[in-house]
Amino acid sequence: MLVGTWRKVFLALVCASVLTGCASGLQPVKHGDSSGAESVADSFLQEQRQQHLDSQTGESGFALLNTGREAFLARAALIEVANHSIDAQYYIWNDDATGRYLAGRLLVAADRGVQVRLLLDDINLAGKEPLFARLDAHPNITVRVFNPVRARNGVSRLFALAANFDRINRRMHNKSFVVDGHAGIAGGRNIGDEYFDEDPLQNTRDRDILVLGPLADPLGDSFQAYWQDLWAYPLDQLHELSPGDLPEVLEQSVERPALRTRPPAGEEAARKYLDQTFAGVIQAPAELVFDPPPENPEGPASTPKATARALYRLANAAETEILIESAYLILTDEELNGTSGLGNPDVSVTAFTNSLATNDLLTNHSGYARWRKAMLASGIDLYELRPDSPACRQWIADGVACGPGGLSLHSKAVVFDRKTLFVGSFNVNLRSIYLNGETVFIIHSPELARAVADDIDYATGPENSWRVSLDENGDLRWHAGDLTVGHEPDVGLWRRFQSGFLSWLPIAKYL
């Protein structure tokens, strides 16, 4: 505690003496009364509920969005059919081809009277403010930024982030998209080319859930909790709109999108696409769990959050098998030996995650590497994605980027006994357990659970993944068919050294 206090004092002194931007810190902001978006009568999406769902059960309908192209088209189509409201909440919204296209379509929707609310986490927003300031200038669009710092760029921003270390580590990792209170999307994807199979070099294996019906309401409640939070700042208090803030670029993105995917051209095409998609939804009992914003973002983060507790409850109830698919995977002795249920020797636990070669964040991999032996010793079967995985051509709609180094795992799902699916923004790591806000669906559907389990079974085959084990001396080994290697495969010595060095640092909770 004393070290932490001196660290804060030192950083505060540096900011005070060197950077005036640090001195003008932000304070919590109180918002006026604002009710969440309600279900809209006489809308296309209400008609879809009536047509495709059995209202007697009270259950929602779900569809897996397994490819980036599916996920992009679903979002684009929902914008086109929106009649009253769009609430979008994202950790990352990139200023690239797909990000600009969807932003441009939000402007078009707002022009026809749709009320749009966009909530973005600040940690990845710096430099992209002009795109969203252009949206915020529309009378039917409001943009807020979650948990920001005043400094927007340069060294001053880095110092401001450091000076507010405890608060800044409480991020809004939730990802949701709700239209007219009837339909929505939640899952692992942010908004950007690499999440929608549009990046020419690097794309992610990811997964979203499209929901139609009653569970769109609690998904909207999740949005509303963050929208009204004291640390959700109006964008115009952080960035003023200037005449050069992208109007022509946005217009061009809408009229001539630079995309390989052809989005639905107009409302009629969008309705046809969604009608076909909703015809395939699977009704099932389900619940939505989300982590509300912290009451005190500078307070201790030592208690598992609501989504983590839901995961533990399901793990403790598992009878035979738990399958984990997590881009970033860290379980320490506390989770493995505690009440999480993930270290139960009577239940088979298989985990599929990134290898050092496919992980987009070296720091995150180092945290996983620090605890990899402990996870193996606890009985977890570990599999790491190969960069030359032929599954890339099934997961990524356009295989152009399926060369070496073109694939990374970003999905987050857990399957229990092939009967229950836990899917959303939650990585099975310490940051999701203790720090981040997350949103997950818990769906009690053997059909959907088996579909994801089959995907994981395929992903962990020797052509797609390295199986990691401990030999008789307790040393790590990587196996793929008849091939066995004694170091992390498909990467050079320098990257292995960097990961090894970082793994010694006590930073796993912040990765």
Just list the catalytic residues. 173, 175, 180, 410, 412, 417
Residues in the chain: 511
The one-letter code for the residue type at 200 is P
With b for 16 or more beta-carbon neighbours within 10 A and e for fewer, the 85-119 pattern comes to bbbbbbbbbbbbbbbbbbbbbbbebbeeebbbbbb
Name the phi and psi angles at 464, rounded to 5.
-110, -25
Name the phi and psi angles at 469, rounded to 5.
-145, 170
Maximum distance among all alpha carbons in the chain? 68
Residue 436 neighbours by CB under 8 Å, 6+ apart: 170, 171, 172, 173, 291, 305, 425
Per-residue tokens: 34: 């604002």
Quick one: which of 120, 109, 397 has its CA closest to 254?
Answer: 109
Name the phi and psi angles at 47, rounded to 5.
-60, -40
* Backbone region of residue 113 per phi and psi (left: phi > 0; alpha: psi in -120 to 50; beta: other values): left
Q: How far is CA 453 from CA 140, 289, 437, 449, 460, in A?
A: 42, 21, 26, 6, 11
Quick one: which of 180, 415, 424, 482 has its CA closest to 305?
Answer: 424
User: What does the alpha-carbon distance between residue 190 and residue 211 come to, in Å, rounded to a whole number?
Assistant: 17
Chain-centre distance for alpha carbon 154: 26
With b for 16 or more beta-carbon neighbours within 10 A and e for fewer, the 309-330 pattern comes to bbbbebbeebeeebbbbbbbbb
User: What does the alpha-carbon distance between residue 439 and residue 449 come to, in Å, rounded to a whole number?
Assistant: 18
Q: How far is CA 91 from CA 183, 190, 192, in A?
A: 20, 6, 11
